[in-house]
């Protein structure tokens, strides 16, 4: 209510809640108080932008809330920015999950507009947060729905982390780890993001709220971090072999994303097209190979690239390799639809000489009429 909001401002409730969180740190018996405290901080920071500034600048709110999140997830560190991964650890309890979710939501509000990191301390703070969020993505809740809610809020917060600090999502992999690896890096968290993205696509609804955050996050990660881009491209846009179907037809992740390129929601189709464009290193010829000109026309028109070329960002010079199947089919691929079309039969092959002569005379007469009315 408006009265409660006014009282909270007069009593400086945000400062009191931060002090209480400090006292609750690492004390399991005050879990209910801690969760309620975090929920209040989320609501206050949502309703009042000045409280966001106070939390960020005066009350060390980012640090306090990050510690609360770390405590809720019971993070154990093995080295800087790398949490221990215990595969035998049971799922979080309902209370632990709820506390983590409230901390994530409050942190999201406090860290809005944090793309520019100006100091070494801020960079450390966001890297530390990103490492906790990586652990969060690898953690499960008591139910599948709670796990999805936990991961969804972690992804929202990762979108506020400066992209230069997201390198901690793919720390070097040790010999003992059996998780998904690529080029010596542990890609477990990136795989969770990919699986989450596909699950949200398959839901078929609420794309704006449910899908665009993870697509935006993956796009920025791919644009900045080469290993992430190459790992994701290997799964989303593997070398083409079968080009008999249109790019939007099928059940692969590529097919699903290409279908989104013509979605009715402008924001959804823009971010889906941008994601695929970045995976193709912003090269028009590479994008058209995977999507067809018709599906990519909207993005290319918006970028002024209808005639070809590439985007503004620089990428490594490693080249894509086409499969033998694609090379042999390439001359017969329809550039508009992006799939292999059988050669059209020549209608004159089945005509007699008299029929050919008749059609030729019709054409001559048509040209004659056009010239008489000054069209030609």
3-class SS of residue 193: helix
Per-residue model confidence (pLDDT) at position 54? 85
Please say whether the beta carbons of 110 and 64 come within 8 A.
Answer: no
Q: Which residues of 10-25 are buried (b: 16+ CB within 10 A; e: fewer)?
A: eeebbeebbebbeebe
Nearest partner of 257 among 299, 301, 311, judged by Cα: 299
The DSSP symbol for 181 reads: E
Does 106 or 322 have the greater pLDDT score?
106
- Is residue 315 predicted with pLDDT exceeding 70? no
Q: Based on the domain organization, do 106 and 60 belong to the same domain?
A: yes
Q: Is residue 328 part of a domain?
A: yes
The mean pLDDT of the chain is 85
- The full DSSP string for 199-224 is HHHHH-S-HHHHTHHHHHHHHHHHHH
**Residue 245: inside a domain, yes or no?**
yes
Within this chain, do residues 94 and 178 fall inside the same structural domain, yes or no? Answer: no
pLDDT for 134: 95
Q: How far apart are CA 294 and CA 336, in angstroms?
A: 5
Beta 181-182 vs 185-186: how paired, if at all?
antiparallel
DSSP-derived secondary structure letter, 310: B
Question: For residue 47, what pLDDT is reported?
Answer: 82
Please report the pLDDT score of residue 44 as a whole number.
85
Looking at residue 320, its pLDDT comes to 65
User: What is the span of the domain harbouring residue 333?
Assistant: 172-344
- pLDDT for the residue numbered 133: 96
Query: Does any domain span residue 213?
Result: yes
Would you give the end-to-end CA distance of the chain in angstroms? 76
Residue 300 shares a structural domain with residue 333:
yes
Question: Which range is least confidently modeled, 12-21, 71-80, 137-146, 214-223?
Answer: 12-21
365 lies in some domain: no
Residue 244 lies in a domain: yes
Using one digit for the tens of pLDDT, what is the confidence trace for 262-302? Answer: 999 999 999 999 999 999 999 998 999 999 988 999 988 88
What is the per-residue pLDDT for 29? 47
pLDDT by residue (tens digit) across 59-76? 888 898 999 999 999 899
Tell me: do 85 and 64 sit in the same domain. yes
Same domain, 216 and 299: yes
> Are 317 and 229 contained in the same domain?
yes
Mark whether 132 and 37 lie in a shared domain: yes
User: What distance lies between CA 169 and its chain's CA centroid?
Assistant: 14
User: Within this chain, do residues 33 and 152 fall inside the same structural domain, yes or no?
Assistant: yes
Cβ–Cβ under 8 Å, residues 211 and 253 = no
Asked if 15 and 143 sit in the same domain, the reply is yes
Q: Quick check: is 319 in a domain?
A: yes
User: How far apart are alpha carbons 253 and 74 in whole angstroms?
Assistant: 34
Number of domains in the chain: 2
Q: What is the pLDDT of residue 182?
A: 85
Give the whole-angstrom CA distance, residue 8 versus residue 15.
10
Higher per-residue pLDDT: 309 or 229: 229
**Regarding predicted confidence, which is higher, 55 or 29?**
55
Collapsed DSSP state (helix, strand, coil) of residue 340? strand
The confidence score (pLDDT) of residue 279 equals: 95
Do 278 and 157 share a structural domain? Answer: no
pLDDT given at position 48: 80
The residue that leads in pLDDT, 292 or 329, is: 292
In the predicted structure, residue 116 carries a pLDDT above the cut 70: no
pTM, 2 dp:
0.84
* Judgement on whether residues 194 and 91 belong to the same structural domain of the protein: no
State the pLDDT at residue 60: 85
Q: What is the pLDDT of residue 319?
A: 58
Both 212 and 243 in one domain: the answer is yes
Residue 4 is predicted with a pLDDT of: 66
Grade residue 11 by pLDDT with cuts at 50, 70 and 90.
Answer: low
Last residue of a domain, one of 135, 161, 187: 161
Query: What does the alpha-carbon distance between residue 191 and residue 229 come to, in Å, rounded to a whole number?
Result: 12
Does some domain include residue 369?
no
pLDDT at 70: 92
- Strand-pairing partners, residue 283, are 310
Least confident of 198-212, 304-318, 329-343: 304-318
Mean pLDDT computed over 320-324: 72
Classify residue 323 as exposed, middle or buried by CB count within 10 Å of its CB (0-12, 13-18, 19+).
middle
Q: Is the pLDDT of residue 351 over 60?
A: yes
Give the whole-angstrom CA distance, residue 282 versus residue 315. 8
Asked if residue 287 belongs to a domain, the reply is yes
What pLDDT score does 99 carry?
A: 92
């Amino acid at each position: 209510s408006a009265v409660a909001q006014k009282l909270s401002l007069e009593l400086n409730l945000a400062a009191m809640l931060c002090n209480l969180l400090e006292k609750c740190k690492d004390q399991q018996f005050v879990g209910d108080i801690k969760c309620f405290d975090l929920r209040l901080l989320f609501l206050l920071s949502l309703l009042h932008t000045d409280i966001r500034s106070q939390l960020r600048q005066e009350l060390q709110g980012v640090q306090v809330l990050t510690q609360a999140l770390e405590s809720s997830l019971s993070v154990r560190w093995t080295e800087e920015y790398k949490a221990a991964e215990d595969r035998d650890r049971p799922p979080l309890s309902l209370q632990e999950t709820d506390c983590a979710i409230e901390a994530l939501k409050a942190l999201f509000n406090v860290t809005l507009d944090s793309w520019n990191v100006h100091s070494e301390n801020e960079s450390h703070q966001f890297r530390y947060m990103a490492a906790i969020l990586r652990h969060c993505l690898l953690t499960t809740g008591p139910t599948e729905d709670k796990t999805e809610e936990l991961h969804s809020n972690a992804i929202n917060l990762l979108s506020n982390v400066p992209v230069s600090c997201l390198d901690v999502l793919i720390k070097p992999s040790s010999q003992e780890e059996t998780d998904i690896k690529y080029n010596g890096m542990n890609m477990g968290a990136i795989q969770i993001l990919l699986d989450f993205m596909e699950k949200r696509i398959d839901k078929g609804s609420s794309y704006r709220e449910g899908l665009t955050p993870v697509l935006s996050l993956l796009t920025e990660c791919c644009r900045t971090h080469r290993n992430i881009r190459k790992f994701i491209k290997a799964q989303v846009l593997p070398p083409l072999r079968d080009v008999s179907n249109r790019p939007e037809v099928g059940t692969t992740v590529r097919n699903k994303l290409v279908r989104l390129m013509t979605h009715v929601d402008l924001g959804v189709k823009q971010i889906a097209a941008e994601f695929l464009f970045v995976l193709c290193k912003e090269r028009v010829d590479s994008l058209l190979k995977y999507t067809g000109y018709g599906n990519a026309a909207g993005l290319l028109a918006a970028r002024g690239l209808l005639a070809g070329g590439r985007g503004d960002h620089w990428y490594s010079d490693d080249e894509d390799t086409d499969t033998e199947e694609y090379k042999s089919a390439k001359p017969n691929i329809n550039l508009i639809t992006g799939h292999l079309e059988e050669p059209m039969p020549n209608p004159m092959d089945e005509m007699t000489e008299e029929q050919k002569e008749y059609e030729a005379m019709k054409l001559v007469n048509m040209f004659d009429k056009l010239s008489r009315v000054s069209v030609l």
